[in-house]
A and B are shown apart, each in its own frame.
Chain A
Amino acid sequence: MITDYKPAVNFNHINYSVDGIHILKNITESFPEGKITTLVGPSGAGKTTLLKLCNGLLSPDSGEIYIKGKSISSYEPVELRQLVGITLQSAPMINGSVLKNLALPLELQGRELIEKDAKNLLHDVGLEEEFLHRPIKDLSGGQRQKVSIARTLVNRPQILLLDEITSSLDRISQQEIEELIVKINQKYKTTIIWITHNLQQAMTVGNYTWVMMKGEVIETGTSDLLHSPVNEKVRHFLKGEVK
């Protein structure tokens, strides 16, 4: 268990199931505040489901989640979702331009995004300024992922949940995004939870890591554990991933 830091998110005996299928099983762990924690594990382990619980898109069947020490149910849903930002795995987009997508979080609050801020955001995620007025449907998968990250940053969340944001990016872009996330983490002390299938990334970028399998958290600790896991199943999984 990760105990040497103040938790930003704390799970206490969390269970979640859909149609009788047990997706998360009795999870008791925490994400340290102000750190980057990576979440690794095979497909279908329940990683995405876990992040959606933190952002309030889903609620557990039993157990309690604490965000910054307060029970998650004591937050208003809108307040919670602005505090805990999520970049969804499928990077969904609304119809229209890149600008329209970037402006969405503020538009929902009846505010406007200044063009200069929009350009800075694009710059942060490594997209040229001229993308601003392009229709979103003309963008490649990787470019959409970048817009999706930028859009999540608009609300300046204190806790940032990233669901496989670099999966369709080339190496250079991956590195740019890694640098950006580290920069955000250091500059704003943002707590970052990052689901990734890239173990190299988990080791270099993450401070901590969780290994999940079949709805359970199998092993947690500093990212070093990925070099020398204790658990037999984890060792087996990591071998398969590296290969």
Chain B
Amino acid sequence: MSYVHLSIALIFVILPIILSKTLNLGLERDTMIAVVRSIVQLLAVGYILKFVFDSENMIYILLMVTVMIAAATQNAQKKGVSIQGITWKVTVTLVVIEVLTQSILLGFKITPPTAQYIIPISGMVIGNSMVLAILFLNRFTAEVETHQDVTELILSLGGTPKQAIHTQLITAIKSSMIPTIESQKTIGLVQLPGMMSGQIIAGADPMQAVQFQLLILFLLLTTASVTSAMLGYLSYPSLFNHRMQLLRGK
């Protein structure tokens, strides 16, 4: 595919804009912003990746992973502003996930220690972890809010903060993991996963592509469970003070 072909593909952008205008959806502006941003961001990433791949320098790989974690943290922490210290809690979680998954992959020589493998896999792991963090924080803050009276009840009867928040914590961890597990059950039946499609289009052997996709799916299961559980156990204590009182979100 050449840049000329890609330019022609902008037809796919013009159509929704025309539709938005005729139907008065008011989405023209957002569509344009989305298109421009995706072009700029992806081209930039493309050039950076090319540079990092060519240099084969570990420092650049580390730098890219750091940027990914910082961006993901920035995005996820917005959903947990009511939790004290949420920024570093999300950061620690993402770092642990990244270190954990890469140590296993590199340690057992499942993937080679090159930028070509480390960066895309880190991207998928960190991106997924970010989504999980958002799902978890959304649900957890809602659960805490809705069941404040039960939390107070358990505290009043001599329960610890951990006991008082246990049900809400488990509900939030579980519900944030469900989409990951459910989507894996139907994978390949409804649609081919993005990474696998990409590899096949780029000319890879389908069986090779499937193997890689499976690896990613296994990784994402770990990512999902570790993210939710870890963030959960890091977050709940800051809802209480040292006198085991529930702090009210202001």
* Docked-complex contact B158 and A82, CB < 8 angstroms: yes
* Docked-complex contact A105 and B245, CB < 8 angstroms: no
Residues of A within 8 A of B156 (CB): 55, 57, 81, 85-86, 88
Assuming the contacts A81-B158, A82-B158, A108-B163, asked whether A56 and B245 have C-beta atoms less than 8 A apart, the reply is: yes
User: Which of the residues B157, B244, B248 comes within 8 Å of A151, measured between beta carbons?
Assistant: B157
Residue of A nearest to B242 (CB): A77
- Does any Cβ of A come within 8 Å of B144's Cβ? no
Expressed in whole angstroms, the Cα–Cα distance for A104 and B167 within the complex equals: 13
- Does any Cβ of B come within 8 Å of A230's Cβ? no
Residue of B nearest to A18 (CB): B248
Assuming the contacts A92-B150, A94-B150, asked whether A59 and B157 have C-beta atoms less than 8 A apart, the reply is: no
B151 → chain A, closest Cβ, in Å?
9
Expressed in whole angstroms, the Cα–Cα distance for A243 and B160 within the complex equals: 44
A71 → chain B, closest Cβ, in Å?
13
Expressed in whole angstroms, the Cα–Cα distance for A77 and B245 within the complex equals: 9
Residues of B within 8 A of A3 (CB): none
Expressed in whole angstroms, the Cα–Cα distance for A77 and B150 within the complex equals: 17
Most buried by A among B150, B155, B167: B155
Expressed in whole angstroms, the Cα–Cα distance for A19 and B250 within the complex equals: 9
User: Which of the residues A77, A78, A88, A105 comes within 8 Å of B152, measured between beta carbons?
Assistant: A88
A69-110 interface code vs B (CB 8 A; 1 in, 0 out):
000010001110110011010101110000000001100110
- Does any Cβ of A come within 8 Å of B243's Cβ? yes
User: Which of the residues B149, B163, B243 comes within 8 Å of A90, measured between beta carbons?
Assistant: B149
Residues of A within 8 A of B159 (CB): 78, 108
- Does any Cβ of A come within 8 Å of B153's Cβ? yes
Residues of B within 8 A of A86 (CB): 156
Residue of A nearest to B151 (CB): A92
A1-36 interface code vs B (CB 8 A; 1 in, 0 out):
000000000000000001100000000000000000
Residues of B within 8 A of A73 (CB): 243
Within 8 A of B (CB), among A204-242: none
Residues of A within 8 A of B243 (CB): 56, 59, 73, 77
* Docked-complex contact B153 and A81, CB < 8 angstroms: no
B224-250 interface code vs A (CB 8 A; 1 in, 0 out):
000000000000000000011110101
* Docked-complex contact A88 and B149, CB < 8 angstroms: yes
A177-201 interface code vs B (CB 8 A; 1 in, 0 out):
0000000000000000000000000
Expressed in whole angstroms, the Cα–Cα distance for A152 and B158 within the complex equals: 11
A105-125 interface code vs B (CB 8 A; 1 in, 0 out):
100110000000000000000
8 tightest Cβ-Cβ pairs between the two chains A and B? A92-B149, A77-B244, A108-B159, A81-B158, A92-B153, A82-B158, A105-B157, A78-B158
9 A–B contact pairs at CB < 8 A? A58-B245, A59-B245, A77-B245, A82-B158, A85-B156, A105-B157, A108-B158, A108-B160, A109-B158
Knowing that A57-B152, A73-B243 touch, tell me 13 more A-B residue pairs with CB under 8 angstroms.
A59-B243, A77-B155, A77-B243, A77-B245, A88-B156, A92-B153, A93-B150, A94-B153, A105-B158, A108-B158, A108-B160, A109-B158, A152-B157
